[in-house]
A and B are shown apart, each in its own frame.
Chain A
Amino acid sequence: MVSPLDPLRLEYSNALPPLQLVHQLAPAGAATFAATFVGPAGWARDPDRREGTARLVAQLLPTAAGALRRVALARRLDRIGATLTSRSSPESGEVTVWGSEADRKKLLGLLAEAVLRPRFDPDDIERIRRSLSERQLREIRQPAGRADRELLAAVFPRAHPYRSTGLGTRASLDRISRSDLIRFHRRHYVADGGLLVVTTGSRSDRVERDARRVFRGLSDRGPDPLVVPALPRRAPRNVRVHLPGRAQVEVRVGGPSITQDSPRYPAAYLANQLLGGRPLLNRLFQRVRERGGLAYGTSSHLETMRWGGFWTASAGTGPERWPTVVRMLEREIDRVRDRPVPGPELDVIRESAIGEIPLSLEETSDAHELAVDAAYHGMPADFWLTWPARLRAVRPREVREAAELAFDRNASATVVAGPLRRA
Chain B
Amino acid sequence: MVRRVTARPPLRRFRLRNGLHVVLAPQPASPTASVWVWYRVGSKNEWPGVTGASHWIEHMVFEGSPRYGKGEMDRAIVRVGGSLNAFTDTDYTVYFSTVPREHLAVPLDIESDRMTRALLLDGEVERERTIIHSEREGNENWPEFRVEEELLQLGFRVHPYRWDALGSRADIERLTPQELRDYYHRFYGPRNAVLVVAGGFAPVAAERTIRGRFSRLASAGDDVTVHVREPEPHGERRAELGGPGTTPYLQVAWRGPALRDPGTPSTLVLDAVLGGAVPLFAPGFRSRGPGEHPSSRLHRALIDPGLAVRAGTSWQPREYPSLFGIYALAAPGTRLDRLEERIDSVVAGLCRAGPTPTEIEDVRARIRRGAALVYEGASHTGYRLGYFATVARPEYEDELLRALLRVRAADVRERARALFRNDARLVVRYTPTNGGVDG
Contact = CB atoms under 8 A, between A and B. Distances in A.
Contacts of B70: 290
Interface stretch (B114-122, B205-213, B366-374, B408-416): B366-374
B369 A81 contact: yes
B4 A201 contact: yes
B181 interface: no
Contact of A362 (B5, B366, B379): B379
B246 A141 contact: yes
Interface residues of A, number: 85
A247 B131 contact: no
Contacts of B397: none
Nearest to A280: B74
B376 A31 contact: yes
Interface residues on B, range: 35 or more
A358 B135 contact: no
Interface in A279-327: 279-281, 286, 289-291, 293-297, 316-318, 321
B130 A101 contact: no
A351 B100 CA distance: 12
B249 to A, nearest CB: 11
A365 interface: yes
A31 B138 contact: no
Contact of B6 (A31, A85, A202): A31
Interface in B412-428: none
Contacts of B30: 28-29, 362
Contacts, number: 250
B134 A316 contact: yes
Interface in A74-94: 74-75, 78-81, 83, 85
B43 to A, nearest CB: 18
A128 to B, nearest CB: 9
Contact of B3 (A28, A79, A354): A28
A407 B43 CA distance: 42
B32 A362 contact: yes
B83 A279 contact: yes
A137 B370 CA distance: 35
Interface stretch (B46-54, B281-289, B343-351): B281-289
B357 interface: no
A290 B71 contact: yes
Q: Which of B70, B98, B141, B332 has the most CB of A within 10 A?
A: B141
A102 B6 CA distance: 12
B130 A294 contact: yes
Given A134-B309, A297-B138, A362 B304 contact: no
Interface stretch (A111-119, A219-227, A238-246): A238-246
B100 A358 contact: yes
A19 interface: no
Contacts of A316: 134, 137-138
Contacts of A354: 81
A106 interface: no
B246 A71 contact: no
A63 B295 CA distance: 12
Nearest to B71: A290
Interface in B63-88: 70-71, 74-75, 78-84
Contacts of A70: 294
A355 B28 CA distance: 20
A201 B1 contact: yes
B218 interface: no
A29 B331 contact: no
A8 to B, nearest CB: 11
A295 B134 contact: yes
B127 interface: yes
15 contacts: A26-B2, A27-B31, A29-B3, A78-B366, A81-B366, A130-B306, A134-B329, A137-B332, A140-B439, A247-B137, A247-B140, A281-B78, A296-B134, A353-B81, A362-B31
Given A71-B300, A142-B246, 9 more contacts: A29-B29, A31-B5, A78-B276, A243-B437, A280-B71, A291-B127, A348-B78, A354-B81, A355-B81
Interface of B: 1-7, 27-32, 70-71, 74-75, 78-84, 98, 100, 126-138, 140-142, 243-247, 276, 282-288, 293-295, 300, 303-304, 306, 309-310, 329, 331-332, 362, 365-366, 369-370, 372-373, 376-380, 432-439
